[in-house]
Amino acid sequence: MLATVLGVLFLAAFTLLPLHWVAIGAPWASIAVAFVAIPLVDAWVGAPRRVLAERRPIPFVRWIPRLQLPLQATLLIGAVGAAPDLALGELLVFALAVGTVTGGMGITIAHELGHRSSRLDRAVAKALLVSVMYGHFFVEHVRGHHVRVATPDDPATAPRGMTVYRFIPRSVVGSFTHAWRLERMRLARLQRPAWHPSNWVLTGSVLSLVLLVAAAAAAGPHGALLFAIQSVWAFVLLEIINYVEHYGLQRRRVDGRYEPVREEHSWNADFAVSNWVLFNLQLHSDHHAHMNRPFEDLRTVPDAPQLPAGYPAMVLLALVPPLWFSVMDRRLPAAA
């Protein structure tokens, strides 16, 4: 029960603190926490101590991610409301801080809930993605990325030698167009046109535009600009993490078909603090091998390719391609 309470308190604090920081004149503080404080503590704590005995389920742990929706709504409403009072420079920094939360935490939770079968969880996932103008991810991630991961067909898998700056536009455009194709094919089987309202890529995009217009109506150009910038930074952050998760890893062709997805087709990062913050997203090797396994049951895979640090530090490393290649290319399997 203590772990559940701590999880809820952290989720609420991390999500809502940007509103406090901007109120006291430090809109940059959430960025510093995410990309300086957490990596330092992560390196200090290191890997968790694993208990070999059977773990007991933590009460109510599966409810914790659902709380992100009201928390994120509160953050965005407060942020849009504060936008008209900010100078343009402050607005930009504050929008990036908000996007660090809505991307780093909000999309991470949307990813977790999008894998669940519950209608409530899937609805929460869709709403979180709409709030960062990336609704198509709900379609593409499970039906596209998980099927094509670690192959040249997957825009969210970066081949060896590709910089993150080439990868981001490729993944953004490629994932959207493939999600549209998936929905068009699904609707064709139902004898419906591609522009039918049940096309989630279409409906999710329209709902995001509605939120953008609502932000403009409520807080003018500054409100719309804040909503747009936090959205773009949120999904760019997601794509940088996609880059980190699968960089340079490839599935082999066997008898003309790609081999099944296994643990070695994703990078594993077993760091206690960042995994706790990111709902075990960094145990990505196990996630792709067992994509319906809930976050609390994901396991580290010692034999999988290992990242030298958690995602917050790896995001910064990816932004400097020469450093990234020098660190990561020598870690790639010989066949990659």
Rounded distance, CA 197 to CA 201, Å?
9
- Tell me the three state secondary structure of residue 306: strand
Rounded distance, CA 233 to CA 229, Å?
6
Write phi, then psi, for 282 (nearest 5 degrees): -75, -10
> Residues near 324 by Cβ (< 8 Å), separated by ≥ 6?
163, 164, 317, 318
Q: What does the pLDDT read at residue 7?
A: 74
Percent above pLDDT 70 for the chain? 95
Per-residue pLDDT tens digits for 229-266: 999 999 999 999 999 999 999 999 988 899 999 999 99
Q: Closest Cα to residue 201, out of 242, 122, 119, 140?
A: 140
- Tell me the three state secondary structure of residue 258: strand
* Residue at 336 is within a domain: no
Q: What does the pLDDT read at residue 53?
A: 43
Q: Are 128 and 109 in contact (CB under 8 A)?
A: yes
* Residue at 304 is within a domain: yes
Lowest-confidence region among 46-50, 65-69, 75-79, 154-158: 46-50
Q: Are 17 and 29 in contact (CB under 8 A)?
A: yes
Per-residue pLDDT tens digits for 188-217: 999 999 999 999 999 999 999 999 999 999
As a whole number, the mean pLDDT across the chain is 94
Q: Closest Cα to residue 144, out of 4, 291, 315?
A: 291
328: Cα separation from own chain's centroid: 21
* Residue at 186 is within a domain: yes
Length of the chain equals 336
Per-residue pLDDT tens digits for 124-177: 999 999 999 999 999 999 999 999 999 999 999 999 999 999 999 999 999 999
If pLDDT is split at 50, 70 and 90, which confidence band does 41 have? very high
Q: What does the pLDDT read at residue 335?
A: 61
Which residues, in sequence order, are bridge partners of residue 257? 254
The alpha carbon dihedral of 195, 201, 204, 208 has a sign of negative
Domain range for 149 is: 2-331
Which residues, in sequence order, are bridge partners of residue 268? 306
Q: What does the pLDDT read at residue 62?
A: 83
* Residue at 147 is within a domain: yes
Q: What does the pLDDT read at residue 58?
A: 63
pLDDT score of 52 more than 50 = no
* Residue at 149 is within a domain: yes
* Residue at 248 is within a domain: yes
pTM over 0.85: yes
* Residue at 166 is within a domain: yes
If pLDDT is split at 50, 70 and 90, which confidence band does 274 have? very high
pLDDT score of 2 more than 70 = no
Q: Provide the domain count of the chain.
A: 1
> Residues near 78 by Cβ (< 8 Å), separated by ≥ 6?
16, 19
pLDDT score of 47 more than 90 = no
Question: Averaged over 225-231, what is the pLDDT?
Answer: 98
- Tell me the three state secondary structure of residue 303: coil
Which residues, in sequence order, are bridge partners of residue 254? 257
Per-residue pLDDT tens digits for 305-330: 999 999 999 999 999 999 999 999 99
- Tell me the three state secondary structure of residue 260: coil
